[in-house]
Amino acid sequence: MHAFFSASLADVQFVVINLSSHLNDLTSVLLATLFSLASDSIVIYQNETKLDFSQWPNKIILLFTTTQFAATLKNVPTCVTIYALNSDDCNFEDPYHFATIQDLVDQLSNAIVQKYRLETCRYNQIGEPDKAKEQEMKANRVEHEIKKVYEQMKENSPKKPLHNIALTIIWLRPEVGDMESLKEVFGEYFSSYHSFFNQHTCHYYIVENEHRNDIFLIMNTSSEQSIANGFRQFSNVKNIYFYGQSTNSDEKTFDTRNDLYYRLTYDLIGHYGELGDNYQENDQLKEARDFFVKAQKLCRFLNEKFFSLNNPVFA
């Protein structure tokens, strides 16, 4: 495309051919917008079997098509640069092949803007500032209108409903009474409670449920740090807590149930508050309200159990 940079951009012709069957809602609007803004430089053909380049004498031609159609072209002039949609077997190292129709149409948009920007430079160099300003305004308008299309399509696209992922708490190697106390205090705030006495069994459970539930994990301070690091690799393990006597001053290490439960409550408030925000943003207001109510109840629980004058210690 070197001639593109050296010649007058009035001599550049954009040709779009046989892309209609590949267009989706977004790219259809993008292409129509580009055509309306630069109709003097773009031609669009559908269902063509051949292309006669001689109809654009003395033009630099930027051709946007598919690899299938490009393969049928013979004796392509040196003034032609081909940008091709190759969604089946895209060579990502080839700057003229594109894996998606959106990428190809974006390339067309960028080339049109580049045309106007370079024309701006050319007119400034030859002392015609009014024409330079006109070309700059065209470039800015294309960028503005394309950005507006993306924003409008995003606003109008239907939102997919979010699905609630259950929150599970796991205690690895609990002592006698630990799980019973945990269930009594937190009840319905966790969907399920599980205890494991073997790290490999625990690991297998987390792997099996990686996309079905979020997990808060409690481990004894006697557990090796490498075990905890193994669990941290899973995206559904949201928090890991260490319980027991320890010289470790880490914020997630606790030597009393009182301190452990305080932190669990604090993190549960954040968890349900964040879920509420996500569902509210997705216009699922009933579900959002349910999560916000849970977070509010936990706030009251935190205040009553940990900040009242009669602050209990969970035995």
User: What residues contact 72, with CB distance under 8 A and at least 6 apart?
Assistant: 49, 50
Let me know whether 107 and 8 are in one domain.
Answer: yes
Let me know whether 220 and 100 are in one domain.
Answer: no
Q: Give me the number of domains the chain comprises.
A: 2
**3-state secondary structure (DSSP) of residue 223:** coil
User: Is 191 inside any structural domain?
Assistant: yes
pLDDT recorded at residue 230: 85
Q: Which residues of the chain have pLDDT under 50?
A: 1-8, 90, 315
- Identify the DSSP state of 230: H
pLDDT recorded at residue 87: 62
Segments forming the whole domain that contains residue 135: 2-156
Let me know whether 136 and 172 are in one domain.
Answer: no
Let me know whether 16 and 145 are in one domain.
Answer: yes
User: Is 111 inside any structural domain?
Assistant: yes
User: Is 314 inside any structural domain?
Assistant: no
pLDDT recorded at residue 292: 94
Let me know whether 235 and 144 are in one domain.
Answer: no
Cβ proximity of 33 and 145 under 8 Å: yes
Point out the domain boundary residue: 107, 125, 156: 156
Provide the angle, in degrees to the nearest 10, between the axes of the packed helices 25-37 and 129-156.
160
Query: What is the reported pTM?
Result: 0.52
User: Is 312 inside any structural domain?
Assistant: no
Cβ proximity of 277 and 261 under 8 Å: no
